[in-house]
């Protein structure tokens, strides 16, 4: 029997979830292996260098650059405060001295006898990394971060924007094909993660943002609306640092597309539970998909994950079409012919014979199929 | 990577050329005169977190202060590499040799500093090779070493491993040398498009990051705009529908156009990706800036200046395309049309595509056995599409653009080509005598109004005579007229024969 490997998104009811929580640069890790954490616990922290300002001391004091170091009144790395006199020229016979005041609070980072400039650094910016999801610390990388393990539901989307957020999960549409509208989002949804159906508009998103919703999950969204929300056109799918209010995850693609029933049902079964949502996406080598994690309170139960072999489609596999003209349709693989087939575009490709739910049969390029993992 | 130089258009540009020539993606060019404040430069470096930095600046014996100032910007930023929290960021210094010590004092401790020969030892001279070699070594050590399977690959081969743009560039260079011709090569990928050119024996290579057909396809749309993509589509398209389709290609990059409609849209975007990459290449492949040229009385009326582009399409002998959308286009006619529409070749230009994306491999072979590489390239790699003939100059509607007389194996063919027409003459790949008489005020390669007697080649597509105009080349503004114009050209050139009977 023919087999064909195809990409698929993880939609798992109960699986082991491993999260690395790392600092952007070396710092302090506050926990040890075996510690049990909640999602808002601070696991590591560090300080990023503060913003810098350059002062052209030579120009301001009207002296040669090589004389700048001897005119400085503070040492390197010494704290300085705004308005403090930090440099003074020698003057003429000790008279007519010029002085220079610091424009900021911070430290003196550097003095150059070649350029005549002094570099002042603002106070360092503290950075804290939280646990993101509840779980147990299983690894500690000294000065760098920790690994947290938990068990729960995991839903991957196809694209997201906005970084990490969390809240109680609530399903606000009645079916996966419904549009999420502004009227459905109310004050009580503040700080919650909302699940919609097939679509939402920019206006709905902005309404949710005004209310203070933590995250939105929807089947589709318009690319032009996305550009309007971001203020620029998303050229490459590398996201996560946008400051747009709620994190937004689309599970199917651009346009009006019903959310996969399995995804919708899994999220619905977790309504009322705590969910961690992260819109960060990277579609390039080493792909990162956006995700919704719902840690499980249950101690027991079968843990399920997929191996590479599970991603092989074969006769009878349940699949979804991921490109026009049948984009979004769900069907079963009837056969996987081995010979190349010419499409309407005249492209010669390997294909699959797909039987849709209404009994129709179509020939589809295998590259345009996505496995539905059950 | 990031590069830095004192004057943006001089050492900054030389540093950029060195980096692009080594196959790197240049994220930003820092320069003393780039108009940004000091803290903005520091913030930019911290934000971009490049894999490496090339710092140049000052001719030997020239400015030290400005070079040191750039080093101080780096020192203040104290940049950390993207890959590997425990590594120091590699910084290559290729500037004024008298500034080496102060640069070392500032960056020696906090970065992995390497010093190579000055990239611009004098204003008249560019010395890119030492920097290129170092960038290449560092790329292999720091970036590629992190790629999965790289160590295994190193165990399999004794030959040096080369990045794709580097290898394709090698074979383009060899072919230009072997045939003594001007060549433009293009390799359009999923994320980037690389353009290579050899004009006046000078080789140039640009890597246009984020102008590709899948991972960065939305960036092509963003940079070109909806109207520029839609102008190549021979049917009406709703903007929301088109942008959603392109967005879906970005998030599911491995999918294939099944319908004719999807193929046409994909090939429309390819035209824009190629056009934009070539624009970038033309801006970059220039004569050195800042060079003082001695002028004689004979140059008095020549308004050339330093910094002019080397790319002269009338001088171009061969245009070679590579990458999935060109090499695997269902019809070779489609590849020829994409190349013509994007590059707008002038005069007489041979068109070819890489048959099965073999150019990178042949590029590596050319470093070991150049003759074998060129032979395989000629015989097995290149698919000769044919020749494009296009007259240059302002023309009026209904004006005769060209009279042609071509000796085909089946006999002599004679005809006129009017403004706005495209004609395809099937012809094999062999030397064919041609007499080309341009219309009034136009140039076909021998000068304005001058007859050109030359030998041309056919190919799997044939000879395409293009009367759509060059300098200017314009499509009709009115959608209905444009659609009917595109359909007519498509029919004339055998681009989409199934278009007539489809639902599109």
Number of domains in chain B: 2
Min CA distance, A86 vs chain B (Å)? 19
Residues of A in contact with B252 (CB under 8 A): 158, 253, 322-323, 370
Position B194 in a domain: yes
pLDDT for the residue B164 = 86
CB of A124 within 8 Å of a chain B CB? The answer is: no
Assigned fold of A52-121: OB fold (Dihydrolipoamide Acetyltransferase, E2P) (2.40.50)
Position B301 in a domain: no
CB contact under 8 A, A253 and B248: yes
Looking at B126, B161, B196, the residue that finishes a domain is B161
B354 and B396 assigned to the same domain? yes
Rounded CA separation A42/A35 (Å): 12
Looking at the predicted structure, is the pLDDT value of residue B211 above 60?
yes
End-to-end C-alpha distance for chain A, whole angstroms: 20
Name the pLDDT band for B290 (thresholds 50, 70, 90).
low
Considering only alpha carbons, which residue of chain B is nearest residue A119? B76
Position B296 in a domain: no
CB of A253 within 8 Å of a chain B CB? The answer is: yes
Per-residue pLDDT of chain A (374 residues; tens, 9 = 90+): 566 666 678 889 999 999 999 887 789 999 999 999 999 999 999 988 788 888 899 999 999 999 999 999 999 989 999 999 999 998 777 777 899 999 999 999 889 898 898 989 899 889 899 999 999 999 999 888 999 999 999 999 999 999 999 999 999 999 999 999 999 999 999 999 999 999 999 999 999 999 999 999 999 999 999 999 999 999 989 899 898 999 999 999 999 999 988 899 999 999 999 999 999 998 877 788 999 999 987 666 777 777 767 778 899 998 989 998 998 888 999 999 999 999 999 999 999 999 998 899 999 999 999 887 76
Average pLDDT of chain A to the nearest whole number: 91
Considering only alpha carbons, which residue of chain B is nearest residue A350? B256
CB contact under 8 A, A283 and B253: yes
- Residue tagged 């994320």 (tokens): B191
B60 and B207 assigned to the same domain? no
CB of A348 within 8 Å of a chain B CB? The answer is: yes
B15 and B66 assigned to the same domain? yes
CATH class of segment(s) A4-45+130-295? alpha beta
Residues of B in contact with A344 (CB under 8 A): 258-260, 498, 502
B20 and B118 assigned to the same domain? yes
Find the CB nearest B210 among A49, A235, A365.
Answer: A235
Cβ(A123)–Cβ(A110) below 8 Å: no
B141 and B257 assigned to the same domain? no
Position B174 in a domain: no
Position B363 in a domain: yes
CB environment A19-35: b (16+ within 10 A), e (fewer): bebebeebbebbbeeeb
Model ipTM?
Answer: 0.87
B118 and B249 assigned to the same domain? no
Please give the CATH number for the structural domain made up of A308-371.
2.30.30.30
pLDDT digits (tens, 9 = 90+) for B316-334: 999 999 999 999 999 999 9
Residues of B in contact with A349 (CB under 8 A): 256
Give the domain CATH number at B80.
3.40.50
Listed range (B287-291, B316-320, B402-406, B448-452) with the worst mean pLDDT? B287-291
Min CA distance, B393 vs chain A (Å)? 36
A4-45+130-295 matches A308-371 in fold: no
Rounded CA separation A287/A282 (Å): 5
CB pairs under 8 A between A and B: 167
Name the token pair of A196: 């919609």
CB environment A102-127: b (16+ within 10 A), e (fewer): bebebbbbbbbbbbbbbbbbbeeeee
CB of A236 within 8 Å of a chain B CB? The answer is: yes
Position B299 in a domain: no
Position B371 in a domain: yes
Find the CB nearest A323 among B39, B215, B258.
Answer: B258
Rounded CA separation B5/B32 (Å): 7
B197 and B136 assigned to the same domain? no
B54 and B198 assigned to the same domain? no
The boundaries of the domain holding residue B314 are 183-289+306-499
Interface test with B, best of A24, A124, A254 (most B CBs within 10 A): A254
B119 and B212 assigned to the same domain? no
CB of A327 within 8 Å of a chain B CB? The answer is: yes
Residues 6+ apart with CB under 8 A from A231: none
CB contact under 8 A, A121 and B76: yes
B99 and B215 assigned to the same domain? no
Residues 6+ apart with CB under 8 A from B228: B272
Would you call B65 exposed, middle or buried from its count of C-beta atoms within 10 A (0-12, 13-18, 19+)? middle
Residues of A in contact with B46 (CB under 8 A): 49
Find the CB nearest A345 among B64, B218, B330.
Answer: B330
Residues of A in contact with B80 (CB under 8 A): 24-25
Interface of A with B in 165-194 (CB under 8 A): none
Considering only alpha carbons, which residue of chain A is nearest residue B499? A345
Min CA distance, A254 vs chain B (Å)? 5
Interface test with B, best of A46, A69, A248, A346 (most B CBs within 10 A): A346
What is the secondary structure of A120-154 as a DSSP string?
Answer: EEPPPEEEEEE-SS-EEEEEEETTTEEEEEEEEEE
CB contact under 8 A, B252 and A54: no
Min CA distance, B239 vs chain A (Å)? 9
Rounded CA separation B70/B6 (Å): 8
CB contact under 8 A, A367 and B254: yes
Considering only alpha carbons, which residue of chain B is nearest residue A144? B85
B81 and B225 assigned to the same domain? no
B48 and B147 assigned to the same domain? yes
pLDDT digits (tens, 9 = 90+) for B73-85: 999 888 877 666 6
Rounded CA separation B387/B402 (Å): 15
What predicted TM-score, i.e. pTM, was given to this entire model? 0.87
Residues of B in contact with A327 (CB under 8 A): 248
Position B279 in a domain: yes
Considering only alpha carbons, which residue of chain A is nearest residue B253? A283
Which 8-state DSSP code applies to residue B457?
Answer: E
Looking at B161, B196, B221, the residue that finishes a domain is B161
Sequence spans of domains, chain A: 4-45+130-295, 52-121, 308-371
Three-state SS string over B380-445 comes to HHEEEEEEEEECEECCCCCCEEEEEEEEECCEEEEEEEECCCEEEECCCCCEEEEEEEECCCCECC
Looking at the predicted structure, is the pLDDT value of residue B141 above 70?
yes
């Amino acid at each position: 029997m023919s087999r064909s490997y195809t990409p698929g998104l993880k939609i798992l009811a109960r699986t082991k979830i491993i999260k690395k929580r790392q600092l952007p640069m070396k710092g302090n890790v506050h926990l040890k292996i075996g510690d049990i954490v909640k999602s808002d616990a601070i696991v590591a922290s560090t300080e990023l260098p503060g913003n810098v300002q350059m002062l052209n001391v030579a120009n301001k004091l009207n002296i040669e650059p090589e004389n700048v170091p001897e005119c400085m009144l503070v040492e390197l790395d010494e704290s300085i405060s705004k308005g403090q006199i930090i440099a003074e020229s020698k003057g003429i016979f000790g008279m007519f001295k010029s002085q220079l005041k610091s424009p900021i609070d911070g430290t003196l980072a550097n003095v150059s006898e070649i350029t005549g400039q002094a570099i002042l650094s603002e106070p360092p910016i503290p950075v804290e990394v939280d646990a993101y999801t509840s779980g147990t610390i299983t690894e500690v990388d000294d000065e760098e971060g920790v690994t947290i393990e938990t068990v729960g539901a995991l839903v991957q989307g196809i694209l997201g924007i906005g970084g990490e957020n969390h809240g109680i999960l609530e399903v606000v549409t009645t079916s996966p094909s419904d549009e999420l509208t502004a009227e459905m989002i109310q004050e009580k949804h503040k700080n919650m993660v909302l699940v919609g159906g097939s679509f939402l508009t920019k206006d709905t998103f902005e309404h949710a943002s005004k209310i203070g919703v933590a995250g939105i999950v929807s089947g589709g969204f318009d690319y032009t609306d996305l550009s309007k929300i971001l203020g620029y056109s998303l050229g490459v799918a590398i996201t996560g640092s946008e400051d747009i209010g709620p994190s937004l995850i689309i599970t199917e693609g651009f346009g009006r597309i019903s959310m996969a029933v399995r995804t919708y049902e899994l999220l619905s079964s977790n309504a009322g539970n705590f969910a961690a949502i992260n819109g960060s996406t990277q579609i390039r080598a080493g792909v990162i998909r956006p995700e919704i994690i719902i840690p499980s309170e249950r101690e027991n139960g079968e843990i399920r994950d997929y191996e590479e072999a599970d991603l092989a489609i074969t006769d009878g596999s349940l699949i979804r079409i991921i490109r026009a003209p049948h984009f979004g349709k769900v069907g079963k693989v009837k056969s996987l012919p081995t010979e190349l087939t010419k499409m309407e575009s005249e492209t010669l490709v390997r294909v699959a014979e797909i039987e849709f739910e209404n009994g129709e049969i179509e020939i589809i390029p295998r590259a345009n199929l996505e496995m539905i993992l059950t | 990577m990031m590069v830095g130089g004192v004057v943006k258009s001089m050492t900054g540009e030389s540093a950029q050329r060195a980096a692009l020539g080594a196959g790197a993606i240049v994220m930003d060019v820092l320069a003393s005169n780039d108009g940004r404040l000091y803290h903005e430069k520091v913030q930019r470096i911290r934000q971009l977190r490049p894999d490496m930095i090339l710092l140049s600046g000052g001719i030997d014996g020239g400015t030290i202060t400005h070079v040191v100032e750039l080093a101080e910007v780096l020192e203040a930023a104290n940049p950390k590499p993207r890959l590997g929290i425990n590594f120091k960021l590699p910084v290559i210094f290729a500037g004024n040799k008298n500034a080496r010590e102060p640069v070392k004092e500032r960056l020696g401790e906090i970065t992995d500093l390497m010093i190579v020969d000055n990239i611009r030892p004098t204003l008249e001279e560019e010395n890119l090779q030492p920097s290129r070699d170092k960038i290449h070594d560092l790329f292999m050590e720091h970036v590629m070493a992190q790629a999965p399977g790289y160590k295994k690959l190193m165990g399999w081969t004794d030959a040096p491993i080369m990045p794709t743009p580097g290898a394709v560039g090698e074979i383009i260079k060899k072919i230009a040398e072997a045939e003594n011709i001007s060549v433009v090569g293009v390799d359009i990928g999923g994320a980037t498009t690389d353009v290579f050119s050899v004009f006046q024996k000078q080789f140039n290579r640009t890597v246009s990051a984020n102008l590709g057909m899948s991972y960065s396809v939305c960036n092509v749309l963003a940079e070109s705009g909806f109207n520029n993509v839609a102008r190549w589509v021979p049917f009406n398209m709703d903007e929301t529908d088109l942008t959603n389709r392109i967005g879906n290609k970005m998030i599911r990059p491995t999918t294939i156009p099944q319908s004719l409609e999807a193929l046409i849209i994909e090939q429309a975007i390819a035209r824009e990706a190629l056009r934009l990459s070539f624009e970038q290449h033309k801006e970059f492949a220039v004569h050195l800036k800042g060079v003082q040229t001695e002028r004689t009385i004979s140059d008095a009326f020549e308004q050339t200046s330093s910094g002019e582009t080397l790319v002269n399409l009338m001088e171009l002998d061969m245009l070679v395309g590579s990458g999935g959308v060109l090499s695997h286009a269902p019809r070779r006619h489609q590849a020829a049309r994409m190349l013509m529409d994007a590059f707008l070749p002038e005069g007489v230009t041979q068109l070819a595509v890489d048959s099965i994306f073999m150019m990178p491999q042949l590029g590596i072979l050319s470093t070991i056995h150049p003759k074998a590489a060129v032979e395989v390239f000629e015989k097995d790699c290149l698919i000769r599409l044919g020749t494009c003939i296009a007259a240059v100059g302002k023309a009026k509607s209904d004006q005769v653009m060209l009279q042609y007389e071509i000796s085909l194996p089946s006999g002599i063919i004679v005809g006129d080509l009017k403004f706005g027409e495209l004609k395809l003459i099937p012809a094999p790949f062999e030397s064919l005598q041609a007499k080309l008489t341009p219309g009034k005020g136009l140039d076909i390669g021998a000068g304005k109004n001058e007859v050109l007697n030359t030998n041309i080649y056919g190919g799997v597509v044939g000879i395409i005579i293009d009367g759509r105009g060059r300098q200017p080349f314009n499509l009709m503004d009115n959608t209905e007229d444009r659609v009917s114009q595109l359909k007519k050209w498509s029919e004339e050139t055998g681009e989409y024969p199934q278009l007539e009977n489809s639902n599109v």
